[in-house]
Structure 1
Amino acid sequence: MSGNLLSIGKTGLFAAQAGLSTTGHNITNANVAGYNRQVVVQATGPFLDTGVGFQGTGTQVAQIKRYSDEFLNTQVRNAQASKSGLDSYHAQISQIDNMLADQTSGLSPSLQGFFKGVQDMAANRASVPSRQSMLSAADTLATRFQALDSRLGEIREGVNRTIETSVTMINSYAQQIADLNDKIGSFASAMQRAPNDLLDKRDQLVMELNTHVKANVTPGDNNSLTISIGSGQPLVVGQKAFQLAASKSPTDLTRLEVGYVTGSKVTVLADNALSGGALGGALEFRSKTLDPAQSALGKVAIGLAFEFNAQHRLGLDQNGNPGGDFFSVAPAYVNKNINNALASTTAVQAVVSDPSKLADSDYKVEFDGTNFNVIRLSDNKKTAITPYDANGTTQTIDGVDFTISGRAARDDEFLVRPTIGGAANFKVLVADVASIAAAAPVATSSPLSNTGTARISEGKVDADFLAGAPALPLTLTFDRASGNLTGFPAGMAVRVTDSTGGPLRDDPAPPPGNARFVDGATYTFGGISVTMTGVPGDGDSFTIAGNSSGVGDTRNIGLLGDLQTKNIFNNGTATLQSSYAQLVSTVGNKTREVQANASAGEALLTQARSAAQDVSGVNLDEEATNLIKYQQAYQAAGKVMQIAGTIFDTLLSIGR
């Protein structure tokens, strides 16, 4: 009897000791990240048949139970991946938002300052000081474009570093989790149970993995975890860890992409294939904000240079020479895929020819074995280049002239980014103030001997003037009998429009070289436009001649100043300033959106963690109570053993 009682007390003592050790383990690890509380689960020992009934033999420790809810843990992991991705996105986009909207470092002050210089030059009859001021403002604007693009380039390098760091960390976590799968599986096979502390460590690694990329977790064989990322690519399967690689884009060597390694092959994953975590946030930021922002800034630069140059070429400088290009217009970024066939001789060039039709998208030029196709990447719209001439074929798509020549192999491809380099390559080409073409190339006059009240306006010219200007000077004469102006260049069409720009038709049509005189009408021919007002007398004449000097004439610089309010982009609906304002607004709205989502993600993560901690967290008050409980149980079990010893001693004394 005493022996059985001693054994019962011993089991109680061991159980209480296990409870004290487990409680102490909980207390000392309460602040360890990823630790899940453990509890001793006791069960009654085997019973004995005494003939008169069944008698218990004490207690036993059935298991050291680890409290962890996988459903709640999955919620925490998903919330962590989402929040980390939003934090990564916000950290990057806030830099662009602050830069673009800043009243000092943004583009708006420099753009306004430049056009103020143009308008001041027009108001001061193109004096030398005003010319110098305008040229200085142009240099300031170019510097600002380049500085903004340089900062965006620095941010792009930061994204590359984030990709490299995240890929390294993901590979490290994958290997550690695979190693723990191996250790946990070994213990589970040998002892039919898994070690709780290793399970905690593995779960914490999975949680930390989700700060870099969203990982999907499914139970595997032998207490292992199978982890996949992206669109189902396995990262950890049992004891095997797969690897990611940060590699240069085959069409842009300055751009890092994430590849999935299978053997000796690296398969590039699309930016939208990896979501969540610092890596997913950085990739989403680059594709949805950084690339569009840099292209939009380049579009403003190219649009300004294109339109300013076009008008500047229609003027005369102080030396009486036609104006040249004032700003440099950046060519489109074109780069071939490094995996193109070595025998291919294909060359692709792209030049913006109409800023109003730009579609705010990059393009891929690929050869399908039969035709070259230009694919707009924003919506995957495909345009075939047909017919194709290997000596060179040019086709205009979305305001961009694509010129393709040479022979290609199937699947050869090129990346075309029409405006990405616009700001970086925006430069002032005019170095001398005398080379600013402020004057118009034509001048009009009428002799004092005219008898009527008719007047001819200052002449204007358009792009057709450069292509086929008529011989100057020429004299227009009014013939009262026919009511016509005569003297227009023979064989050159004359377009007559009213004050609203609507066409005026003569019926019957006047002879060649003639046009009916209409008060307030505008006459356009050979790129020259003049407006006639008043009532001419018979034989009154009006002369249109070339401007002999650009000094003091500010007609062309006035037209250059008007470009500030000209609708240049979006099919003639957006000005330079509004286009830049749209960029600032788009980035600002996206920044606020990401910030709000990050705040919501923080709240969601806090709630998910709280729910998980309610199950697995260590409550020190509860553990203190358990200490007292197990201490008393230990003392009671010891008392049982003491009584068993006393009984045994009594039996021995009876025998003596």
Structure 2
Amino acid sequence: MASSTFEIGLSGLLASQQGLATTGHNIANVNTPGYSRQRVTMETREPQFVGYGFTGKGVDVQAVERIANQFLVDQLRNSTANEARAAKLSELVDQIDAQVGDALVAGGVQNFFESMGDANDDPRLMATRQVLLESAKSMVSRIAEQEEQFNLLSRSVNQQIGGSVQKINALTGALAALNIDIARGAGLASGEPANDLLDKRDQLLNDLSQLVGVQTQQRADGMVNVLVGDGQLVVTGGTATALQPTVNPLDASRMEVGLVVGGTLTQVSETLGGGELGALLDFRDANLIPARNAIGRMAATLAMTLNAQHRQGMDLDGAPGGDLFSIPPPDVNALGSNSGSISLAFDPATVGDLTTSDYRLTHDGTNFTLTRLSDLSMQTLSGAGPFTVDGLTITVTAPPAAGDQYLLQPTKFVPRQMSVAINDARKLALASPVATASATTNLGSGAITRPQVLDATDPALLNPVQLVFNDPPTTYQVNGAGPLIPYTAGADIDLNGWRVQVTGTPLAGDSFTVSSNAGGMGDNSNGLSLSAMQFQPLMSGGTATYQEAYGVLVGEVGAAAQQARISRDALGALTENAQAARDALSGVNLDEEAANLLRYQQAFQAAARVISAADAVFQSLIEAARG
């Protein structure tokens, strides 16, 4: 009986000792990230049959159980990935918001047109002409400075993508090694899990979710497979497959993420969502590229439309106006394996239709397909071309073949390479090459407007033309001869590359002259036309002025920044709730552990007294036997 009592006491002593050790382990890890509290599960030993019935044999420790719920763990992991993405996206969009909102570009455009107005006050003054020229250079410099800020941000995004990939690879390597340790531990413990290793693995998965969205697959051997994106395996049991930062084959400035699948490096950037890496990739495509292209679109449209008007004017020396600004052609990036080739140009007639998107052009052996990357809208281009789309002209310069692919970046490099095309303020074409006049003998109330030059290259542009009104003055003739032309007050009269309107009520014999403006140094007709372009809807398909289009960019970026902040705060609250739910179940409660400590200590002491009592009985039996 003493022996049986001794064994019972010893079993209780050992069970209480394990309870004390487990409680102490919980207390020691109260501040360990990802730690799940543990508890001892005890089981009564099988009873022993004696003549009068069954008698107990004590207690066994069945297991040290890890208190965790996989649903709560997965919920926290997903919330962490979403919050990390939102926080990173908010940080990045705030940078663009600060850049476009500081009036760097808008202020430069406004100063340019104000200087144009000053020069128009007296086009003969070299001082105001020089200020206008310097304002043009300042505007171009500001546009280039804005582009450089975007370029630096783009480089930073590339560096952060590479850094995130390195961190992901380090974590997946650690997860694969931990998988092996967990499987080995389960084998040594007859299938019982290694609790602390499971916590460590969950914490690594949580760390990984801060970088990229993660899914897991539980295996029978205790290992987990880890997937990112839309199902790319990066950990298979004890083997990790590294992500690789790669350069986009069509854009060397664009960092992509690849994964070796079946011996082939496959680009997976578009499938990666969640976490900081997902935010970086999303920000680049949804925010940075459109904002960068918006500046380029404004620069290209402004340069081409102002150039077109400036060429209609006459400079201070009586020479025709030339281009005011110089811009590069739209950029084309061809796949190295292409058979054909194309060229890309801005279409002067539809330059106002330029968008803020890049494009992908592919050939299937029969037709081209143009995909606008901002909204993935597709357009089939059949035939040999040229093709005019969204303010661009695509010209096929060498026969295409199936599989040919191009990346079109129409406005990306315009701000960086834009320049003022003239250096002499005398070359500013503020005057019109033709002038209008009313005969001093006119008796009616008719008046002729300043001429608008439509085609400065028309060989008859400077030929003198007289519009003579007949009797009755409901018709007029050109140079007093030819067909009778019906008169409508204010209607356009287009001849020899110019346009005028006659208003009012001319009388019979009244005449108006359009002729060369040679010597018209004080004329500001073309300067006024240039100034008026500030308020003309020349962008966004004829719906916005230069500054309105820029204002749309500022508004869109501001709205995106606001939305990103709202998402960051909301998802942060969800993560806090998910963490609280997980901690309520798995976290260490020091009050509870203190109570457990006292309970196991008392049980330990009681079991020790059982052993002491058994020993006393045993000693009494020995003494009785000796007597």
TM-score bracket relative to the smaller structure: over 0.9
> Could you tell me which residue of structure 1 aligns to residue 127 of structure 2?
129
Q: 2:110 aligns with which of 109, 112, 115?
A: 112
Distance in 1 separating the partners of 2:611 and 2:461: 124
Distance in 2 separating the partners of 1:572 and 1:428: 25
Q: Summarize deviations over 1:28-53 as a string: whole Å, max 9, x none.
A: 11111111111111111222111211
Over the residues paired in the alignment, what is the CA RMSD in angstroms? 2.0
Distance in 1 separating the partners of 2:624 and 2:109: 113
Q: 1:412 aligns with which of 404, 411, 415?
A: 404
Distance in 2 separating the partners of 1:365 and 1:582: 28
1:374 matched to 2:344: no
Q: Summarize deviations over 1:334-373 as a string: whole Å, max 9, x none.
A: 10123x24xx242332324323222432221212112333
> Could you tell me which residue of structure 2 aligns to residue 157 of structure 1?
155
Q: 2:309 aligns with which of 300, 308, 311?
A: 311
- Give yes or no for contact 1:394–1:404 (8 Å, CA) kept in 2: yes
| Residues 581, 186 of structure 1: alpha-carbon distance in 2 compared, 3 angstrom cutoff | same
| Residues 25, 486 of structure 1: alpha-carbon distance in 2 compared, 3 angstrom cutoff | same
Normalised TM-score (structure 2): 0.95
After TM superposition, the structure 1 = structure 2 runs for residues 198-597 of structure 1, keeping only pairs within 5 Å, are: 198-271=197-270, 273-338=271-336, 340-341=337-338, 344-353=339-348, 354-388=350-384, 393-448=385-440, 450-453=441-444, 455-467=446-458, 469-470=460-461, 472-480=463-471, 483-487=474-478, 512=482, 514-536=484-506, 538-597=508-567
Distance in 2 separating the partners of 1:467 and 1:371: 39
- Give yes or no for contact 2:315–2:430 (8 Å, CA) kept in 1: yes
Distance in 2 separating the partners of 1:91 and 1:519: 60
> Could you tell me which residue of structure 2 aligns to residue 603 of structure 1?
573
- Give yes or no for contact 1:319–1:550 (8 Å, CA) kept in 2: no
Distance in 1 separating the partners of 2:19 and 2:566: 47
Cα drift, residue 126 of structure 1: 4.8
| Residues 513, 441 of structure 1: alpha-carbon distance in 2 compared, 3 angstrom cutoff | farther
Q: Summarize deviations over 1:506-529 as a string: whole Å, max 9, x none.
A: xxxxx8454234555442223312
Distance in 2 separating the partners of 1:611 and 1:6: 44
Distance in 1 separating the partners of 2:456 and 2:108: 32
SS in 1 for 2:221: helix
SS in 2 for 1:223: coil
Distance in 2 separating the partners of 1:324 and 1:591: 42
> Could you tell me which residue of structure 2 aligns to residue 500 of structure 1?
none
| Residues 481, 111 of structure 1: alpha-carbon distance in 2 compared, 3 angstrom cutoff | closer
> Could you tell me which residue of structure 2 aligns to residue 505 of structure 1?
none
| Residues 624, 547 of structure 1: alpha-carbon distance in 2 compared, 3 angstrom cutoff | same
After TM superposition, the structure 1 = structure 2 runs for residues 614-633 of structure 1, keeping only pairs within 5 Å, are: 614-633=584-603
Cα drift, residue 479 of structure 1: 3.1
State the AA in 2 paired with 1:526: N
Distance in 2 separating the partners of 1:200 and 1:528: 81
State the AA in 2 paired with 1:596: I
1:643 matched to 2:616: no
Distance in 2 separating the partners of 1:395 and 1:251: 21
Distance in 1 separating the partners of 2:585 and 2:31: 15
Q: Summarize deviations over 1:466-518 as a string: whole Å, max 9, x none.
A: 346445122333332685322359xxxxxxxxxxxxxxxxxxxxx84542345
Q: Summarize deviations over 1:259-317 as a string: whole Å, max 9, x none.
A: 1212541111242x111100001111111111111111111111111111111111111
Distance in 1 separating the partners of 2:24 and 2:117: 81
| Residues 44, 90 of structure 1: alpha-carbon distance in 2 compared, 3 angstrom cutoff | same
1:38 matched to 2:29: no
- Give yes or no for contact 1:488–1:514 (8 Å, CA) kept in 2: no
- Give yes or no for contact 1:162–1:278 (8 Å, CA) kept in 2: no
Q: Summarize deviations over 1:536-594 as a string: whole Å, max 9, x none.
A: 45544432211113521111111111111100122211111111110000010011001
Normalised TM-score (structure 1): 0.91
Q: Summarize deviations over 1:218-237 as a string: whole Å, max 9, x none.
A: 21121111211111111212
| Residues 468, 264 of structure 1: alpha-carbon distance in 2 compared, 3 angstrom cutoff | farther
State the AA in 2 paired with 1:645: D
Cα drift, residue 629 of structure 1: 1.2
1:191 matched to 2:209: no
State the AA in 2 paired with 1:50: V
> Could you tell me which residue of structure 1 aligns to residue 23 of structure 2?
23
1:51 matched to 2:58: no
| Residues 51, 549 of structure 1: alpha-carbon distance in 2 compared, 3 angstrom cutoff | farther
State the AA in 1 paired with 2:304: F
- Give yes or no for contact 1:108–1:577 (8 Å, CA) kept in 2: yes
- Give yes or no for contact 2:347–2:388 (8 Å, CA) kept in 1: no
SS in 2 for 1:175: helix
Alignment size in residue pairs: 624
The percent of aligned pairs where both chains have the same amino acid is: 35
Distance in 2 separating the partners of 1:481 and 1:633: 126
- Give yes or no for contact 2:450–2:525 (8 Å, CA) kept in 1: no
SS in 1 for 2:419: coil
State the AA in 1 paired with 2:155: E
The range that moved more, 13-22 or 455-464, is 455-464
SS in 2 for 1:618: coil
Q: Summarize deviations over 1:108-156 as a string: whole Å, max 9, x none.
A: 2222111111111112345211111111211111111111111111111
- Give yes or no for contact 1:372–1:385 (8 Å, CA) kept in 2: yes
